[in-house]
Structure 1
């Protein structure tokens, strides 16, 4: 294991097309969005939080037409029945949906009582690669996200935080940014 928590031969690289980190083994030329098996999840979480979390600023949209679009951040907790039960934090997620609910309910309480922000929690606890961007998913419009996620997002006003939302991907808390 190295300081990243990844198995020998693996390293963290940055995707220019998705603006997200990924895992690469230069010997085998294998690349993955989720960490390889035998990764030390806690060490990786610390490393990624220190070296691969973006300091976000609202980007100038330039000439892009954003009418009808909103910008949200989210915190995702996956479980073994999620569509893809793996994440940048864990190669294989084995927790039950009930355990995932307990975890995200704790996060919801902490966000709503003001002891932490969704962005701060997402950085280290979200199972989505957007964790590196404080959960920021960027701008999206109707039809771009899963139905349940979209419905919850579009009723929020900027600055509002949703209750827990369940999708095929897992359990989310969503914050409307713009």
Structure 2
């Protein structure tokens, strides 16, 4: 029943990695596992399934403390929403086995997300759960704490310029297009 609800091809199921605290895809008969959905996945069914069954209900302050917490050694905490395109470093995600959209199409999508966030219709975290191409979507886009040198330069520069609670404009990296919330 879980397989049909998730929109995965026959033999595939969603499992949870304890080491990475993220869901992954597993085929028992073939003994195959992968982070991206297998070819033939119904991505719309999968998006709905993952949002219902594999998303953090909230980001708990005790899971990482307040931004600027002493003891974070210069690290900040941020969440993001990623929209990949066919020229991204890895043009696949938990949502799509092969991403074929152009960079221009990805930009149009992320600008629509940004407009919804800035208008107050939704939050970055709520939107990331179903729309982000990063596996952090399950955690409302939360990347946890990171310091200088931990992320791609463009991402890091933008994230460190934000004040806690601020959302960036679109940031382009080799991974794709991001909106970042510190």
Looking at structure 1, the residues matched to 64 and 43 of structure 2 have their Cα atoms a distance apart, in angstroms, of: 35
- Describe the superposition over 1:103-152 as per-residue Cα deviations: whole angstroms up to 9, x where unpaired: 00001111111111000100000000000000000000000000000000
Change (3 A) 1:61 1:75: closer
After TM superposition, the score normalised by the length of structure 1 is 0.95
- Describe the superposition over 1:26-78 as per-residue Cα deviations: whole angstroms up to 9, x where unpaired: 1111111100000000000000000000123123559xx52200000000000
Looking at structure 1, the residues matched to 95 and 172 of structure 2 have their Cα atoms a distance apart, in angstroms, of: 20
Residue in 1 aligned with 2:68? none
Question: How many pairs does the alignment contain?
Answer: 175
Looking at structure 1, the residues matched to 63 and 107 of structure 2 have their Cα atoms a distance apart, in angstroms, of: 36
Residue in 2 aligned with 1:25? 27
After TM superposition, the score normalised by the length of structure 2 is 0.93
Looking at structure 2, the residues matched to 3 and 103 of structure 1 have their Cα atoms a distance apart, in angstroms, of: 26
Does residue 140 of structure 2 align to residue 137 of structure 1? no
In the TM superposition, structure 1's runs of 4+ consecutive aligned residues that sit over 2 Å from their partners are: 58-62
Residue in 2 aligned with 1:103? 109
Looking at structure 1, the residues matched to 64 and 55 of structure 2 have their Cα atoms a distance apart, in angstroms, of: 21
RMSD: 1.4
Residue in 2 aligned with 1:75? 81
Residue in 1 aligned with 2:62? 59
Change (3 A) 1:80 1:60: closer
Looking at structure 2, the residues matched to 136 and 60 of structure 1 have their Cα atoms a distance apart, in angstroms, of: 11
